[in-house]
Amino acid sequence: MTAAIARVDTRLLRAPLSRPWGPDVTDLTIIEVVVADTDGATGYGFSWTPTIGGHAVRALLDHDIREFVLGRPADAGTLWPDLWAHLHEAGGGVTTIAMAGVDLALWDLAARRAGRGLVDHLGRRRADTTAYGSGVNLHYPLDELVAQAGRWVEAGFTGVKVKVGSPELADDVRRIRAVRETIGPDRFLAIDANQRWSLAQAERAIGELAPFDLRWIEEPLRADDLPAHAALRERLAGAGVGVPIALGENVHTRYRFAEFLAAGVVDVVQPNIVRVGGITPFLEIVALAARHGVEVAPHLLPDLSGQLALTLSHETLVESVEDASFADLGILAGPAPVVVEGGRARDTARPGLGIEFATH
Active-site option among 161, 229, 252, 299: 299
Q: In what order do the strands lie in the sheet with 42-49?
A: 5-16, 27-37, 42-49
Mean pLDDT of 189-197: 98
pLDDT level of residue 92 (50, 70, 90 thresholds): confident
- Place 360 in a pLDDT band, splitting at 50, 70 and 90: low
Give 120-347's CATH code, choosing from 3.30.70.120, 3.40.50.300, 1.10.3720.10, 3.20.20.120: 3.20.20.120
Of the candidates 341, 350, 349, the one whose C-alpha atom is nearest the C-alpha of residue 129 is 341
Active site residue 163: yes
pLDDT tens per residue, range 32-49: 999 999 999 999 999 999
User: What residues pair up with 14 in beta bridges, in sequence order?
Assistant: 29
Q: Would you kindly state where each structural domain of the chain is located, as residue ranges?
A: 5-113, 120-347
CATH topology classification for 5-113: Enolase-like; domain 1 (3.30.390)
Radius of gyration of the chain (CA): 20
Query: Does residue 278 carry a pLDDT above 70?
Result: yes
Reported as a single tens digit per residue, the pLDDT across 205-262 is: 999 999 999 999 999 999 999 999 999 999 999 999 999 999 999 999 999 999 999 9
Q: What is the pLDDT of residues 155-164, one digit of tens each?
A: 999 999 999 9
Of the listed 121, 161, 163, 252, which one is catalytic? 163
The answer to whether the beta carbons of residues 142 and 178 sit under 8 Å apart is: yes
The proportion of the chain whose per-residue pLDDT surpasses 90, expressed as a percent, equals 92
Residue 149 pLDDT exceeds 90: yes
